[in-house]
Amino acid sequence: MGTEEIIREERTVLGSIKIADEVVKTIAGLSTIEVKGVAGMSGGLVGGIVEKLGMKNLTKGIKVEVGEKEAAIDLYIIMDYGVRIPDVAGEIQEKVKNAVERTTGLAVVEVNVNVQGIAFVPEDEEEHRVK
């Protein structure tokens, strides 16, 4: 398993169950890309490099802090121009919270959405953009 940090370990009658932090990050990333209005993820710093969402970098721009039974998640995202940011951010929070809780059994105490920028899509590209 390498140097991955284990964020949750649970003992059962048959043995232990361990969930790595990358698992929670991936679940959060998959939930985030389902939300219309999200253009990409940021590296987490204001001057960070913006990357388009894709399977390779689903965990980029996501930080997790996990206790024994609870998790806090920070997302650093780029939104599409023209969306109402509070609405999109609220939908992200709900989707991420529900997916992580349902999949891992952790109680998600907060999902912080940090909007790092706005992506402008030229009109001729907008028709071909898949969401």
Q: What is the DSSP string of 24-39?
A: HHHHHHHHHHTSTTEE
Structure-block tokens of residue 62:
């996501």
Distances (CA, A) of 111 to 18, 40, 107, 114: 22, 17, 11, 10
Residue 98 lies in a domain: yes
pLDDT value, residue 45: 46
Beta bridge partners of 80: 119
Number of domains in the chain: 1
Structure-block tokens of residue 116:
């790092």
pLDDT value, residue 7: 56
pLDDT value, residue 63: 95
Catalogue the E-assigned strands of 43-87: 50-52, 62-66, 70-80
Tell me the CATH number at 10.
3.30.70.1350
pLDDT value, residue 15: 82
Residue 106 lies in a domain: yes
Residue 73 lies in a domain: yes
pLDDT value, residue 128: 54
Residue 26 lies in a domain: yes
pLDDT value, residue 54: 47
Q: From the first residue on, what is the mean pLDDT of each consecutive set of 10 residues in the chain (131 residues)?
A: 56 78 92 92 55 60 87 95 97 98 96 94 58 51
Residue 131 lies in a domain: no
Contact 116, 38 (CB under 8 A): no
Structure-block tokens of residue 89:
């951010």
Residue 1 lies in a domain: no
Which domain covers residue 65, as residue numbers? 6-126
